Amino acid sequence: MRIFHTIVVLLLLIAGAAGGYWYYTQQQPTITADQPAPSPSPQPTTLPQFTITAVQTTDTGRRLITCQPRPDQPQKARCRSLEHQRNESEAVTDGQFWYYYQVQDKKIRLVRQHIASGKTTTIIEQTPLASPRGLIVSPDNRKIVYWLDNIDEPKKQLTELWFYDADTGGTQLVAEKIYRPAVLTQPRFNRAGTVLWFIGDASKPGENSKPELLIAAVKPVGLAARHLHVDWGALQTLVARGVMDISPDGSAAAFADRVLNRTRLTISREPEEQTAALAGGDIVYLHWRDNQTLTYVLQERDYFSFWETSGGLHRQLSRYPGQIESIRGPADGSYFVFAVREGMRTNAVALETDSHRLTPLFPLPAFGKRTYIVQALQQDPDGATPGITAELDDGQLAAFIDKHIGDIAQNPAAKPQRLIITGQSNTLLVDYRDEAGEAHRFLLTVRDAVNAEWSILARYRAAGAEWVRETGSSQEAPKPLRLYEWEPNPGQWILKEEYGAK
């Protein structure tokens, strides 16, 4: 009789749990597409090609690679290993530089090392008043965020949030007078790179605590508690490491968590709107676009699919076989490039969001356990410069000139004064002075930063306030984009003027 009673109780518990799960799932709509996904094309489309920089991991470290399609075989890539991981445990990379901390003369320094040239510069160092810690890279790789702790008055336990701007070479305060013990999660950037978020306690020490979502805007700077209707205290693990994104203006937040064998997608909109929907498989990526449309990726056993939702409707864009390892896309979400594991191979694949086209790009080298794409740059077929091994940003071009100016100018005493970045790939005007103080200018294209290959397109001499071409083609110089000048103090290139879009 006792056994019979036990069996009845167990059956009732199972029935109750099943009924509760049925009730719960019925209260939240299941994500279904309003139209079938288009089949992926096995052949190349007219999508632009990409140069991809990625970190590949092993059990003992990481290596950095850059890959670009071969001109004669676009579906095959030419890849180069740039450097293995630095020994510093906190080292991070944007694909062009390593950022890490080092200790010299008992002072902590945040340094930036150019991968191609090896040149290292100090971003900020410890003073008797403050000490830096932590590193967060923005999605566009242009900002490095760090904490600056107040060590002059350690009992107050105050800290500040700062970022280093790679374009200007300067630092800027984001938020100050933050009570350090009240910071419950590390900051994370949204996909647009406009805000950071973390869970914190906005109350003063000794008062009743209430974990809140604190959003820090980088332009204009500021810190505020947002989405107050959500219980963020129960979501600390998800906010710290889970799948989450916040819209460019901070007014909408989306996050995904597991509910039994499904994934729940929750969308919060200020002031007090919150909706949820259930999906099979795992939501592995979220991206808010400028138009308030949310793009997300659903990974199932043998394939993954791209979706978007707006106004409560969910639409499947495309689907593709394999397992996603990483995804990269610009702030506007116009395209995505991702590494996908298919069997024993990892392939690079691109999605054009508006046309819903998924296009295989090229295989990536087999190495380690996982490939993380840190940069995916479009190559413009009409404006590309033949023979260039990789697109370089302003910082890389400046570092190249710093290292090789003597060889390029054929004068060891040459000192660069101004750099003008042009609209042609890896092409710039360089003004410099010789040992006698006389001004010179040349126009060059950097072909390969690693092996130091360049082409001089023209040389100029100063004639009053004008530059007169001495050698080179009579063709007009490319359109200037940005002007940098060398500032001896603090010993950096400073952006002085922007002339417009390419």
Rounded average pLDDT over 288-314? 92
pLDDT attached to residue 498: 87
pLDDT beyond 60 at 397: yes
The sign one gets for the Cα dihedral 306, 309, 315, 317 is negative
Q: Which is more confidently placed, 473 or 110?
A: 110
- Classify strands 195-201 and 211-218 as parallel, antiparallel or unpaired: antiparallel
Query: Which residue from 278, 323, 305, 333 is spatially nearest to 38, judged by alpha carbons?
Result: 305
Cα angle 336-340-343, degrees, rounded to a multiple of 5: 165
pLDDT of residue 290: 86
pLDDT class of 2 with cuts at 50, 70, 90: low
Residue range 136-192, pLDDT digits in tens: 999 988 899 999 999 999 999 999 999 998 877 889 999 999 999 999 999 999 999
How much is the pLDDT for 202?
60
Residue 26's pLDDT is 44
Partner residues linked to 140 by β-bridges:
none
Question: How many whole angstroms separate alpha carbon 324 and alpha carbon 341?
Answer: 6
Mean pLDDT of 213-228: 94
- In sequence order, the 6+-apart residues with CB closer than 8 A to the CB of 483 are 418, 419, 420, 421, 495, 496, 497, 498, 499
Q: For residue 132, what pLDDT is reported?
A: 96
- For residue 71, is pLDDT > 80? no
The segment with the largest mean pLDDT, out of 49-63, 133-147, 350-364, 380-394, is: 133-147
Can you tell me the distance from the alpha carbon of 215 to that of 213, in angstroms, rounded to the nearest whole number?
A: 6
Average pLDDT over residues 104-133: 88
Choice among 4-8, 68-72, 478-482 with the minimum mean pLDDT: 4-8
Q: Where is pLDDT greater, at 489 or 187?
A: 187
326 touches 372 (CB < 8 A): yes
- Highest mean pLDDT (candidates 81-95, 157-171, 477-491): 157-171
pTM: 0.71
Closest CA to 196 of 207, 183, 209: 183
Q: CB neighbours (10 Å) of residue 407?
A: 12
Contacts of 85 (CB under 8 A, 6+ apart): 61, 62, 63, 64, 91
Per the prediction, the chain carries an average pLDDT of: 83
User: Which of the residue ranges 88-102, 205-219, 356-370, 460-474 would you say has the lowest mean pLDDT?
Assistant: 460-474
Calculate the CA 396 to chain-centre distance. 17
pLDDT at 11 over 60: no
Length of the chain: 502
- CA distances in angstroms from 50 to 105, 321, 349, listed in the order given: 43, 21, 10
Report whether 333 contacts 353 (CB < 8 A). Answer: yes
Instruction: Using the predicted structure, report yes or no on whether residue 86 has a pLDDT greater than 60.
Output: no
Domains and CATH numbers, the chain: 49-379 (2.130.10), 394-498 (no CATH)
Phi and psi at residue 407, to the nearest 5°:
-70, -40
Token pair for 467 = 């530059």
CB-based contacts of 439: which residues, under 8 Å, 6+ apart?
417, 431, 432, 433, 462
* pLDDT tens-digit readout, 315-334: 998 899 999 999 999 888 98
- Which has the higher per-residue pLDDT, 452 or 340? 340
Q: Locate tokens 């969308």: which residue? A: 267
CA-to-CA distance for 360 and 72, rounded, in angstroms? 16
Which of 103-107, 368-372, 450-454 is the least confident region? 450-454
User: Residue 422, CB half-sphere, CA atoms under 13 Å: how many?
Assistant: 20
- Across the strands, what pairs with 178? 159
Give 80 or 38, the one with higher predicted confidence: 80
Q: What is the reported pLDDT for 348?
A: 94
Long-range contacts of 146-153 (CB under 8 A, 24+ apart): 146/110, 148/124, 149/180, 151/126, 152/128
Decide which of 279 and 475 is more confident: 279
Distance CA 85, CA 443 (A): 35
Using pLDDT thresholds of 50, 70 and 90, give the confidence band for residue 203: low
368: region left, alpha or beta (phi > 0 left; psi from -120 to 50 alpha): left
Average pLDDT over residues 362-369: 88
Cβ-in-10-Å burial (0-12, 13-18, 19+) of 79 comes to middle
Residue 103: count of CB within 10 angstroms of its CB: 9
What's the pLDDT tens digit per position in 262-286? 999 999 999 999 999 999 899 999 9
pLDDT of 23: 37
User: Which is more confident, 474 or 140?
Assistant: 140
